[in-house]
Amino acid sequence: MIHFQSVDAAGIRLSVDEDGKEVGRAYLYIMQNDLHDEPFGLMENVWVDETYRGQGIGSDLVNTIIQQAKEKGCYKLIATSRSSRSQVHELYKRLGFEAYGIEFRMNFSSLNP
Examine residue 108 and state whether it is found in any structural domain, yes or no: no
On the question of pLDDT at 112 being above 90, the answer is no
**What is the pLDDT confidence band of residue 94, given thresholds at 50, 70 and 90?**
very high
Examine residue 29 and state whether it is found in any structural domain, yes or no: yes
State the total domains in the chain.
1
On the question of pLDDT at 42 being above 70, the answer is yes
Q: Could you tell me the CATH number of the domain that includes residue 50? A: 3.40.630.30
Range of the domain at 18: 10-94
Examine residue 111 and state whether it is found in any structural domain, yes or no: no
Examine residue 112 and state whether it is found in any structural domain, yes or no: no
Tens-place pLDDT, residues 61-76: 999 999 999 999 999 9
Closest by CA position to 32, among listed 66, 65, 1, 5: 5
Examine residue 107 and state whether it is found in any structural domain, yes or no: no
Examine residue 68 and state whether it is found in any structural domain, yes or no: yes
pTM for the whole structure: 0.85
Closest by CA position to 81, among listed 64, 110, 101: 101
